[in-house]
Structure formats: C-alpha cells, structure tokens
Amino acid sequence: MKKSLFIMSAAALLLFSVACQRNQATSDGRPTIALVVKTLNNPFFNDMQKGAEEAAKSLNVHLLVQAAEREVDVEKQMQIIENLIESKVSALCITPSGSKEIIPAIVKANKAGIPVVILDTRVNPEALAAANGKIAAFIGSDNLEGGRLAGELMVRTLGGKGKVAILEGIPGHETGDSRLKGFRQAVAGSPGIQIVSSQTANWERDQGYTVFQNMLQAHPDIQGLFACSDLMALGAVEAIRAAGKTGKITVIGFDAFSEAREAVRKGEMTATVAQFPADMGKIGVESAARLLKGERIQEEVTVKIQLITRDNLNSNKP
C-alpha cells in the first residue's frame, strides 16, 4: 500500500513538474513571443535580436530567442521550433533556414493555434499552399533589388568589363537565391562582364576564405567579387590579403554589419548592401504582439535597403 502511494505521489509530482515547465514562460501573465533565427554566430541576427528585445521591453512581452549553431542546420531549427510549440509559446517569429523545409513546423504551429510571423527569408509560397499552411506576415528586405544594386555598382566600378566571381549562399535558400538572381540580372546587360566562377560558401566566413582562395588559384585575373553575405565577403578579403591583392579586387558584400563597414572604410571592400535587421526584429515582435491582441496587421512589410560605400559610410550608421 505504501509502495502504491509512493508511486502515485511520484507520478503526480512528475506531472506537476511537466506542467510547470510547459507554462513557466507565461507564469507572470505576459505573453511569450519566440524569435527563432538561423544562428547567433552572425552579427546580422545579433542586430535582429536587439531590435526584437527593444520591442519586447516596450510592449511588456516575454521574448525567447533561440537558434541553431550553424545556418545550414535546418533540422536543428526544426527541433527548436517544435519544442517551442510543445511549450505553448504565444507566437513565433522565424527566419527560416530552409524556405521549404520550414513548412511542416509552420503547419504544426497552425494546428496549435500559434501565429507565425516570418522574417528576412520568405517561405516558398507554392509549397506552403500545398501543405495548407499559413503565415500571418512576412517582414524583410527586397533581396532581389539588393542584388541588382550590387550588380549595377560592379558594372560601374569595372567600367563594364572584367572577370567576376560570386560567393553564393545556401543552394535553394530564398534569400541568397534572390540576391544572386538580382546580381546576375544587373550584369547581364554588360557583355564585357564575365562570371568565371559562382560557388556556395554556405554563408560562412571560413568557407568564404577557402572557396575564394581556390577561385583565385583557378582564375588569378579575377577583378571583382560579389558575396551574398558579408561573412563570406570578409573571408574572401582574408584570402585576397593572403594573395597580396588587397585593393586590386572589387569586393561587394551584403548585410552591412560593423566589420564589413570597417572593411569598406579601409578600402578592403568596395561596398556592402545594408538591410537594417534591427528593424525586422522590432517590427516582427510588434506585429506578433498585435496579433495576440486580436488586431489586424500588415501582411507584408518591406524593410529598406541601401548600398553602403565610402562616400556615404559616415552618414549611414546602423
């Protein structure tokens, strides 16, 4: 009898513990908004987090920020989102590591009645519709236009002719694909611009170094480089420095975080495209909070982009 009572008490204690864990985020009565970014090893997403935290503080909501260690780890991001759904967060703000891969998690959130706001990287609309999934809003930059700005500058800087390389993002990733497409569209009208190599460096600095080092060995006469993110661009800058070619290759990046801006100031990079991720994080949390109050929100918000060069560097601080 005592043993039976002990087992029942232990079971009750376990259930109470689980219940506490599931509700601990909202124990003070505030709604919990989770921000799931691709990684926290990238200054872009650090800035997004700062904007989200600023909004959460002003709105008196509880903010959880989580991410996989690497941007390419789609499975880990999925696990994080599923765990947040299980813990019954009030709303989700997500920057998808995979435009299609994220959809099953969105559908699970829909079934759980948790609104989803997508930031920075679009979800594949056809695949989302096929799965009967829904998002409340998308907040991000026009990456296609950003790629075009970079391409137009490359053409002007090289005088309409020269050999150019590209460091791509993750294949099939909407953000990188749009930047790449915009850049290619911009240089397509200049027959003198020859793209001699275009390879992925998976958004990572060390891969940017290695991949561009190999490109330089295969094509030592490269005159320009477009990198779909500043981390890859900065890796390439190190490879250029190691090859003794600093200042001899036009390097254009994307994101305009502080180290890239400093590289522009030093002349190691020609330009970078600014996206203002702090605004994305801020608007994302504000939108989620409004949804939780039953208010209508704008379904698509385009955050401004701007080409940053040495000429406007000081007047466009993040």
The string of DSSP letters for 211-266 reads HHHHHHHH-TT--EEEESSHHHHHHHHHHHHHTT-TTTSEEEEEE--HHHHHHHHH
> Rounded mean pLDDT of 298-310?
95
* CATH, range 143-274: 3.40.50.2300
Lowest mean pLDDT among 8-12, 42-46, 197-201, 211-215: 8-12
The CATH superfamily assigned to 26-140+277-303 is Response regulator (3.40.50.2300)
Higher pLDDT, 21 or 146: 146
Q: What is the mean pLDDT of residues 184-196?
A: 97
User: What pLDDT, on a 0 to 100 scale, did the predictor assign at position 210?
Assistant: 98
Which pLDDT score, from 0 to 100, does residue 14 have?
35
Q: What is the pLDDT of residue 26?
A: 54
- State the pLDDT at residue 250: 98
Residue 303 — very low, low, confident or very high, per pLDDT cuts 50/70/90?
Answer: very high
Separation of first and last alpha carbons in the chain: 68
Question: Cα separation of 97 and 77, whole Å?
Answer: 7
User: Between residues 52 and 99, which one has the greater pLDDT?
Assistant: 52
Q: How buried is 209 (Cβ within 10 angstroms: 0-12 exposed, 13-18 middle, 19+ buried)? A: buried
- Position 171 scores a pLDDT of 85
Q: Is residue 71 predicted with pLDDT exceeding 50?
A: yes
Q: What is the dihedral of CA 185, 190, 193, 195, to 10 degrees?
A: 30
User: Which residues belong to CATH 3.40.50.2300 in the chain?
Assistant: 26-140+277-303, 143-274
Q: How confident is the model at residue 20 (pLDDT cuts 50, 70, 90)?
A: very low
Residue 174 has what pLDDT? 85
pLDDT score for 317 = 60
- What is the predicted pLDDT for the residue at 3? 37
pLDDT per residue as tens digits for the range 255-299: 999 999 999 999 999 999 999 999 999 999 999 999 999 999 999
pTM of the full structure: 0.82
- Secondary element (H or E) of residue 182: helix 174-188
Mean local confidence (pLDDT), 58-82: 95
Tokens of 292: 């939780």
**CA-wise closest residue to 93 among 34, 25, 46:** 34
